[in-house]
Amino acid sequence: MLTTVPRHRAEIVEELRRLLARGVAAEACALPFDLPAIDRHLPQGGLTCGALHEVMPEARGDMPAAFGFVAATLGRATLGRATLGRATVGRMPQRAPILLVTSPCGLAACGRLYGHGLNGFGLDPARVILVEAQNATQALWAMEEALHSAAPAAVAGVIGKLGFRASQRLHLAAGEAGRLLLLLRPPGMVSVAVTRWRVAAAAAAHDRFGLIARWRWQLRLERIRNGRPGQWIVEFDHATHRFSLAAALADPTFSRSPVAPVHAHIHAQAG
């Protein structure tokens, strides 16, 4: 019996080393906004891969805008190392698909997803695997299994409810896989998310022909682990697929002047 103790301890030490090495690799991977005003509020200069991040609409009518922000972020996750930098992208596979899981309570009141709309946010529809679950339980199961497989480059879900224990499972699965996990859901529930973002629609920027040139959102980083909360009005260029501060803002802090919201349909613009 005494001979089995050293062996058992050695196995434990080896397992701890393996887990720590995995954790460090996941920690070294982050997805930046390439916008210093926001990235400097995040401990690794971007959204940490291998962690759960929440996005919530500011009001019920802001769900399309919140989804647009999620789609734009996922679109950046598919950009190559030449664009984001080898050290930043880290372990994120460059040719892997993006998994997007929805439940009936997620986008039911906003229409259906449309390929050209996703493409406007830099999210190639050919790389998106869309799973329409029958309920929140199936949606959570699909996301968790996808993370365990480590096959997708990133995983996102749009669900109506999320329990605390379910958020723990998703967060741990994302950590083991080292993958970015975004969850769009309504407010009012506690989770273990590393960041929590509140998104509201803002008036879009138009070109000289009156067409939308850049979508804009009121963005609030409500919760951040080991970082600093902040508020901004950001815009997204559908041609360059880049974030920037709204041109009217000379200061990176959130403008408190009222902004007329634009409620666009998801199938056309999603934000």
For 222, half-sphere exposure in the C-beta direction (CA atoms, 13 angstrom radius) is: 14
Q: What pLDDT sits at residue 200? A: 97
pLDDT averages per 10-residue partition of the chain, 271 residues: 51 55 52 95 94 95 93 87 45 78 76 84 92 91 95 93 91 95 90 96 88 89 95 92 77 42 40 44
Residue identified by tokens 């709309």 is 117
In whole angstroms, give the CA distance from residue 271 to residue 236. Answer: 10
pLDDT at 65: 94
Q: What tens digit of pLDDT does each residue of 197-212 get?
A: 999 999 888 888 888 8
Q: What is the dihedral of CA 120, 125, 131, 136, to 10 degrees?
A: -10
Residue 12: its pLDDT value, please?
A: 60
Rounded CA gap, 210 and 174, in Å?
Answer: 42
